[in-house]
Structure 1
Amino acid sequence: MSKYQTLLNILDKIRDESIETKFKQKYQPDKADIEKVNQARSRAFIHLYLLVSHGILDFTEREHFITDGTQDGGIDGYYIDTDKKVISLIQSKFRTSQSNFEQKHITLEELLSMDVDRILNGETTDEKGNDYSGKVLQLVREIGKIEDVARYKYQVILIANVDKGLKLVANKLFGKLPVIIFDFDKCYQRLVFPVISGTFFNASDLSIQIDLSNKNAGSKISYPVNTSLGEAEITVLFVPTIEIAKILTKYKNSILKFNPRSYLELEGKKVNIAIRDTIVSQETNEFALFNNGITFVSNETSINERIGQKSKAKLMLKNPQIINGGQTAYTLSKLLQENDYSKAEKIFENKEVLVKIITLNNPLGSEFENSAVQLIDKISTATNQQTTVSSADRRSNEKKIIELQRVIYDRFGLLFERKRGEFGDGISNGYIADEQVIERNLLVRLYYASLGRISNCTGKRPFLRFDDVEQLVGDLDSLDRIYFGYLCLLGMTNTVSIHRKRGTFVKLLFLIEKYKPHNISEYKEVASSAVKALTHDWEAFISFGERKNPNLISTFIDRQSGETITHFNVGGWMVSSHLMDDIRAYVSQEKNEA
């Protein structure tokens, strides 16, 4: 499945959200009417931007900001960010084929159709005197109602491919407003990938508010701590469990970036059952006693107890991340999702959880960032003692591992699962298929197999050494060999599960050496043909190996028949140091004979 097809799956899922709304007819046309289906997908494309970039989960709320239609002044959507004081004006160009989506550019005429100056100046008609649509007039009214509008900045969002020439003049066309471009590649990286991995928000965009509604809401302990990065502060308090459930339901993997595990990988653990039982079966607050709590890291923490509501307070965390207690948060979110809100409120009523917030006062950025990440990783490792965390789990957040994931996705559309379960959302929602996800240990086995290091493929839990990762990120030839081997493995086994059989990886190495084409676009077709020819090829290759390695041939007398039997030690040959040379010699011989 291509990245473009994954995009279509996401857009169709967004269209399905309209079924229970008054907009159903617009987004659910007859499937046979391809033109209207594409129009609906075009609008859903703007929904996707609003969902991922601004975290608007509700379909109807997103629809409010979509202006696409006749007399729209060239503006397809907008968003007024009251927190950041930014007004975004959006033009989107959805293309109905993969080739057009990745190659077709927006035209100068299409850019000039955006009446940015007129609309921001409060005009209600275009230059010809025609009234703007009701949605555009709605935008004009909403800007006019902003009391501190002078503090707001404006930006133009182009969700389209823009050629170099237009990029140079784009901001001049809109009165020197900043122009942010989402070309096809950025759409795949910044819109599609976050949806299938459950990471809708960048860390810098995460700000959450928590209601502290018990009578001791203001009770907390704060303690300053000196670290190698300067002063940090630890804040400890009890928080209503329903507020934690809301947070993880909304942010999912985005708030677990420094946690060694992902949102859906937390499912099915025994500890989750105990957490659930304590919440559901108890009407009193034993949960606060039994649970170890949740640990956040934050760049800025503030608690306001004067919010005009008796016995309530607000806790604000800037750039929060859960580094311990992910299972607790996950289980609470599942309970919230499984019940309607009124029932959930009763289940969670008067039940609290201990929350520890580690505030790193220095802003993340420049040289501080790497050191801060290392400190957070150490805190995460130290606090994740309740459940065993493997070395591979701990290493999943290393910068080079994250970069490797990006390179593999960009080049092949393949999803390298650096954290177990991180693409569970994408699979469960039907955005992607199982075979699009390559489990981290399988990727490592394929890497070593492609190098001829077969003995490294059969260990229980192989994982790349850091120097291997560093080399692999920039080694496109090795990545191509891994990808072709993976396609062959899918054809051989029709499964994506890990195979540790030595023979499987030798066969993959053989197929890579003999069949891997130069053009990536040919990989799938060639891999399919190679697997079909494997039985014949393999028998011929074994015979070749037997002739080349007489030292691995033994003879013995069969006790029953009395016949002399020769045996070629295939297993020993497969782990021999000259296996790769033999494969290459065989492939060269085949080519010469052809």
Structure 2
Amino acid sequence: MDISVSIIDQRLASVANNIRQEAAEELRIRDENKLKSLAFVYLCVQTILDLESDDAFDCLTEGGGDFGVDAMHISEEYDGEFTVSLFQAKYKNNLEGNSNFPEEGIESLINAIQYLFNPAAKLEYINQRLLAKVEEARSLIRDGYIPQVRALACNNGLKWNASAEEAIQRTGFGDQVTWEHVNHERLVKILQASRPVTDTLQLSGKAIIEDMEFSRVLVGRISVTEIATLIDRHGERLLERNIRRYLGLQGNRVNEGIRHTLTSDEKNNFYFYNNGVTLTCDSFSYNALQDGDYQVRVENLQIINGGQTCMTISKTLREPDLLHQNAQAYVLLRLYQLPRENEGLVQRITYATNSQNPVDLKDLRANDERQQRLEMDIQQLGFNYRRKRSDTNTRPVDITSGVAAEAVLSVWRRKPHQAKFF
């Protein structure tokens, strides 16, 4: 059984419960199997288009007279065009994930595209939800807007076969229609990804900026108050590429030292005591015509080293008056603009630069794809898999990576005598 197929299958149970009432009232779907299929369509629409719950449900057109279109979304008009996303979903309870998207499903989508976007074509036996959306699209066409169509074939298996591909090529739709396959692997990959952080960093004083082999480096100084504000805005979204969540103050010597400096008369020497923070981004820009105090616009910002420093600063400066008192406390900032496609380089920099707090092998593996999938899969079973170390106390539903490793070593590997030393 494919683990991604299993993750999606378990998620559908939750989705089905969330839309059960609306499905019964608006679509008259009460059968559990049909509800599960509808939940899959809903999940695909919401995930691919990044829609809110109500907007995603509004796209659903599944039912009799749907032309093989299970969901339809129309974008805003832009530059004389608008985009229509047509979804057709085929969900199998067989979780092997080895079935192709059916050829007849592709043919249904082809037929739908030929008729739905031709204002002269008469539509009979079409359900009201789909009809309303088709009329909206046709109205735009009559007004001179050109539809760009995304045909999304969704299943929990493989792409359509060669015969279906030939049928697509015979249509002559050209570039006006794009065909996409959406399956369990694509959904899991999107669900695992976090929304990028885009923001502006206010630096202090001079900075050094240099281009280095398709990358850029900025080294400068940033106030601890700016760090605190940044963390308050985005929280642990900034630490997705970091190998640890916040480890807290109590019992952590380094973090306690950071707090002590910020609350003592030595706060203005913080810049010299701390190793600084390292951040990565997809791109950064600034006004190169000024001498310093740059405002740096960054896209897809991540803290890969110094996460403990940043979180401790944020938590410490929440105390009354400390934010104002630390106005002259600064941190060394290293900002790397790295090629988007070189994820391996980011990982290597992360591993190489994390040395302020001791890092063990569990920390280094915390962001592996397998660990992320375990986290999602175990969550569907009602438990919380803690793949990253944290300062929060464990609850009865929490399973730490260490406990999981001990169980695997004891039961599956049959080495309980070694597990007790894990």
State the TM bucket, normalised to the shorter chain: 0.5 to 0.7
Aligned to 2:193: 200
Instruction: Specify the SS of the correspondent of 2:280.
Output: strand
Aligned to 1:170: 168
Residues 379 and 38 (structure 1 numbering): CA distance in 2 closer, same or farther, change over 3 Å?
Answer: same
Q: Deviations over 1:334-392 (max 9, x none)?
A: 9xxxxxxxxx9x9xx9999979462436x444xxx3xx743x34542454233212356
Aligned to 1:489: 411
Do structure 1's residue 298 and structure 2's residue 281 form an aligned pair?
Answer: yes
Do structure 1's residue 48 and structure 2's residue 43 form an aligned pair?
Answer: yes
The root-mean-square deviation of aligned C-alpha atoms, in Å, is 5.8
Cα drift, residue 159 of structure 1: 0.7
What is the aligned counterpart of 2:418 among 501, 517, 520?
501
Question: Would the aligned equivalents of 2:204 and 2:222 in 1 still touch at CA under 8 Å?
Answer: yes
Instruction: Specify the SS of the correspondent of 1:93.
Output: strand
Cα drift, residue 98 of structure 1: 1.4
Instruction: Structure 2 unaligned segments of length 5 or more: list them.
Output: 288-294, 386-398
Residues 78 and 380 (structure 1 numbering): CA distance in 2 closer, same or farther, change over 3 Å?
Answer: same
Bigger mean CA offset, 169-178 vs 237-246: 237-246
Letter of the 1:225 partner, please give it. E
Do structure 1's residue 358 and structure 2's residue 335 form an aligned pair?
Answer: yes
Cα drift, residue 396 of structure 1: 7.1
1:566-585 matched pairs, under 5 angstroms: none
Aligned to 2:181: 181
Do structure 1's residue 385 and structure 2's residue 355 form an aligned pair?
Answer: yes
Q: Deviations over 1:21-53 (max 9, x none)?
A: xx6512589xxx996233332232233334544
What is the aligned counterpart of 1:112 among 85, 108, 115?
108
Question: Would the aligned equivalents of 1:225 and 1:233 in 2 still touch at CA under 8 Å?
Answer: yes
Question: Would the aligned equivalents of 1:11 and 1:44 in 2 still touch at CA under 8 Å?
Answer: yes
Aligned to 1:511: none
Cα drift, residue 15 of structure 1: 3.6
Q: Distance in 2 between matches of 1:322 and 1:112?
A: 47
Residues 28 and 425 (structure 1 numbering): CA distance in 2 closer, same or farther, change over 3 Å?
Answer: farther
Q: Distance in 1 between matches of 2:352 and 2:235?
A: 22
Aligned to 1:427: 378
Instruction: Specify the SS of the correspondent of 1:133.
Output: helix
Q: Distance in 1 between matches of 2:73 and 2:307?
A: 35
Q: Distance in 1 between matches of 2:142 and 2:332?
A: 39
Aligned to 1:324: 305
Instruction: Specify the SS of the correspondent of 1:98.
Output: coil
Q: Distance in 1 between matches of 2:120 and 2:231?
A: 45
Do structure 1's residue 11 and structure 2's residue 12 form an aligned pair?
Answer: yes
Question: Would the aligned equivalents of 2:59 and 2:73 in 1 still touch at CA under 8 Å?
Answer: yes
Letter of the 1:164 partner, please give it. A
Instruction: Specify the SS of the correspondent of 1:12.
Output: helix
Do structure 1's residue 190 and structure 2's residue 186 form an aligned pair?
Answer: yes
Question: Would the aligned equivalents of 1:427 and 1:433 in 2 still touch at CA under 8 Å?
Answer: yes
Q: Deviations over 1:474-500 (max 9, x none)?
A: xxxxxxxxxxxx6993496xxxxx845
Cα drift, residue 165 of structure 1: 1.4
Aligned to 2:390: none
Q: Which has the higher helix share?
A: 1
Cα drift, residue 297 of structure 1: 0.9
Cα drift, residue 13 of structure 1: 2.1
Q: Distance in 1 between matches of 2:334 and 2:58?
A: 36
Q: Deviations over 1:521-547 (max 9, x none)?
A: xxxxxxxxxxxxxxxxxxxxxxxxxxx
Question: Would the aligned equivalents of 1:52 and 1:200 in 2 still touch at CA under 8 Å?
Answer: no
Q: Distance in 2 between matches of 1:272 and 1:59?
A: 44
Aligned to 2:396: none
Aligned to 1:232: 217
Letter of the 2:354 partner, please give it. N
Cα drift, residue 166 of structure 1: 0.8
Cα drift, residue 208 of structure 1: 3.4
Q: Distance in 2 between matches of 1:396 and 1:139?
A: 47
Question: Would the aligned equivalents of 1:87 and 1:155 in 2 still touch at CA under 8 Å?
Answer: yes
Letter of the 1:49 partner, please give it. C
Cα drift, residue 301 of structure 1: 1.6
Aligned to 1:523: none
Question: Would the aligned equivalents of 1:248 and 1:329 in 2 still touch at CA under 8 Å?
Answer: no
Do structure 1's residue 63 and structure 2's residue 63 form an aligned pair?
Answer: no
Q: Deviations over 1:440-462 (max 9, x none)?
A: 9998x99xxxxxxxxxxxxxxxx
Instruction: Specify the SS of the correspondent of 1:68.
Output: coil
Q: Distance in 2 between matches of 1:211 and 1:142?
A: 41
Instruction: Give the TM-score, by structure 1 length.
Output: 0.46
Work out the number of aligned pairs and report it: 370
Q: With a CA cutoff of 8 Å and minimum separation of 6, indicate the structure with the bigger relative contact order.
A: 2
What is the aligned counterpart of 2:31 among 33, 36, 40?
36
Cα drift, residue 126 of structure 1: 5.0
Instruction: Specify the SS of the correspondent of 1:43.
Output: helix
Q: Distance in 2 between matches of 1:220 and 1:174?
A: 60
Larger Rg: 1
Instruction: Specify the SS of the correspondent of 2:180.
Output: strand
Do structure 1's residue 133 and structure 2's residue 50 form an aligned pair?
Answer: no
Question: Would the aligned equivalents of 1:70 and 1:133 in 2 still touch at CA under 8 Å?
Answer: no
Instruction: Specify the SS of the correspondent of 1:89.
Output: strand
Q: Distance in 2 between matches of 1:81 and 1:328?
A: 43
Percent sequence identity over aligned pairs: 15
Question: Would the aligned equivalents of 1:117 and 1:175 in 2 still touch at CA under 8 Å?
Answer: no
Cα drift, residue 11 of structure 1: 1.4
Cα drift, residue 59 of structure 1: 2.0
Residues 111 and 422 (structure 1 numbering): CA distance in 2 closer, same or farther, change over 3 Å?
Answer: closer
Aligned to 1:567: none
Letter of the 2:280 partner, please give it. V
Question: Would the aligned equivalents of 1:293 and 1:356 in 2 still touch at CA under 8 Å?
Answer: yes
Aligned to 1:92: 88
Q: Distance in 2 between matches of 1:159 and 1:54?
A: 13
Residues 315 and 154 (structure 1 numbering): CA distance in 2 closer, same or farther, change over 3 Å?
Answer: farther
Q: Distance in 2 between matches of 1:325 and 1:191?
A: 32
What is the aligned counterpart of 1:210 among 199, 203, 228?
199
Residues 324 and 90 (structure 1 numbering): CA distance in 2 closer, same or farther, change over 3 Å?
Answer: farther
Residues 269 and 226 (structure 1 numbering): CA distance in 2 closer, same or farther, change over 3 Å?
Answer: same
Bigger mean CA offset, 100-109 vs 39-48: 100-109
Letter of the 1:260 partner, please give it. I
